[in-house]
Structures are given as C-alpha cells and as structure tokens.
Amino acid sequence: QVHLMESGGDSVQAGGSLNLSCVVSGFRSGCVGWFRQAPGNEREGVLIIPLGGGRTYYGDSVLGRFTWSRDPAKNTLYLQMNSLKPEDTAMYYCAAEDPGRKAPGGVCLGESRQYAFWGQGTQVTVSS
C-alpha cells in the first residue's frame, strides 16, 4: 500500500527558504513529487521526479528556485524552495503516480489526474 507523508511547511518572509520532506512508502517506480493548491485555485504541479530516471517536471513558476533531493535509505523525497514569493503560498502535497494512468513514454506530467496517491499536505505561507 502506498503512503505519503509531508512535513516542513512553515511561515516565512519573502526571499526566504524552506525544505519540505515527503516520506514515501510502498512506491518504488514511476512519477512522484509535489503539487500545491492555493485557496480558489486548481492543484498545480510543482516538481515531479521519475524514480526510474528521465526528465524531471518543473512548474514554470518554480524553475530555477526549487530543487529536489532524495534519501533512499530514509524513503524520503525533499523539496528545497529558495527565493520564496508570496505567490508560493499554498498547501503543498506529495503525490505518487497512478500505475493505470501512466503518460506515454513514462513522462511525468504536472497534471493531478495522473496521480492516485496523495499525502495530507503541509502549509507554506510566504509573507511580503
């Protein structure tokens, strides 16, 4: 059974940094990563990693500011967020791909319908 749990959300000032963690269990291959959702907005892909190798998906608004790392020994995926902006304020979710909805070529897309497994979310608030 796939289980994801996020942590690390906080309130920071613009220009600051945060590092989110996602402990992933029961998921070994495919696309896994981060989405976010602000009140009144649709859930959007932030950064998605193909565990089996391939191209990482980056949301346009985070390219150059957000990066990722992974500790396989801890089954943990990290999202390093730098140069945070007020518009980064959202609930951040960790998600893993639905095996029945793989995109052609195994591409990781930033579309929530590709993902079946979700964490409970962690809140990030950036003040100006």
Q: Rounded mean pLDDT of the chain?
A: 95
Q: Distance between CA 15 and CA 17 in Å, rounded?
A: 7
Q: Distance between CA 53 and CA 49 in Å, rounded?
A: 8
Given this model, what pLDDT does residue 77 score?
A: 97
pLDDT in tens, 76-108: 999 999 999 999 999 999 999 988 888 888 889
